Structure 1
Amino acid sequence: MQLIADILIAAIAALHLYFLYFEMFAWDTIGRKTFKQIPADVFPKTKALAANQGLYNGFLVAGLIWSLLISDPIWADKIALFFLGCVLVAGIYGAFTASKKIFWVQGMPALIGIIFVLLS
C-alpha cells in the first residue's frame, strides 16, 4: 500500500508541476488551449494572475515531494495528508466555482491518494 501511495503522491506532484509550468510560463499557449471557453483577449490581461496561481501549485508540489523525502513514516504521512488535503479542497472549490472537471482532474486523485496514505 505504501508504494501505491507514494506513486500517487508523485503523480499528483507531477500533475501540479505541469499546472505550475503552463500557468506561470505558457499561459498564452497551453492555457489558451486548455481553457477554450475563455476569450483569447483575456489571456494577456490575466497572465500575472495565472502566474500567481501557478506559484501556489508549486507550493503544493514542494510539499508533496517533501513528504516523499521524509524518513519517519508517521511524519511523512502527516505531511502528505496535509498537502493532499489542500489539493482536494482546491479541487472541490474549483468544481463549485469554475468547472466540475476540476474535481475529476485534481480532487479525485487527491482523494484516492489520501485513502491510500491512510491504508498504508
Structure 2
Amino acid sequence: MNNLLIFIVALVAFEHIYFMILEMFYWDKPRGLKAFGLKLEEAKISKTLAKNQGLYNGFLAAGLIWALVSKSNFEQIALFFLICVTIAGIYGSYTTKMTKLFFVQSIPAIIGIILILIKK
C-alpha cells in the first residue's frame, strides 16, 4: 500500500465522518448553518432529510475505513468507495449549485482513484 494513497483514503473517510456529524447533529446549529449556507428556517424544514443524508455519508466513511483495515482487498474496496464519493460530490455540487462541494468532496477522491489506477 502506498503511503500517499493510505493518507488520501483516510482523509476522505475523515471528511465523511465530519459530514455525517454536521448533517446529523449540527444541521440547524450555527456550525451547520455556516457550513451549508442555510438559513435557520430552511434548516428546520430539511433537518430530517439531512439526518438521512448524514447516515449515507457515514456509510461512505465506513466503506473507506473497511478498505484501510482490509489486508487483501484494500485497492478494490477503496476504488469502489472513492468512485461513490466522487459521484456523490459531483451530484451534490450540481444539485446544490455549491461548487465548493465538488472541490472538498470529489477532488480528494479523484486523487485517490488516480493513485490506484496508475499503480496498476
TM-score, reference length from structure 2: 0.91
Give me the whole-angstrom Cα distance separating, in 1, the residues matched to 2:55 and 2:114: 27
2:111 equivalent in structure 1: 112
CA contact (8 A) 1:87 1:107 kept: yes
TM-score, reference length from structure 1: 0.91
Q: The residue matched to 2:59 in structure 1 has which SS?
A: helix
Q: Quick one: percent identity of the two aligned structures?
A: 49
Give me the whole-angstrom Cα distance separating, in 1, the residues matched to 2:17 and 2:10: 10
Aligned residues: 117
Give me the whole-angstrom Cα distance separating, in 2, the residues matched to 1:77 and 1:35: 32
1:11 equivalent in structure 2: 11
Q: CA deviation at 1:42?
A: 1.4
Give me the whole-angstrom Cα distance separating, in 1, the residues matched to 2:61 and 2:77: 12
Q: Which runs of 5+ in 1 are unaligned?
A: none
Give me the whole-angstrom Cα distance separating, in 1, the residues matched to 2:93 and 2:58: 20
Render the CA deviation track for 1:59-115: whole Å, top value 9, x for unaligned.
Answer: 00000000011111xx21111000000000011112221121111010111000111
CA contact (8 A) 1:91 1:102 kept: yes
1:31 equivalent in structure 2: 32
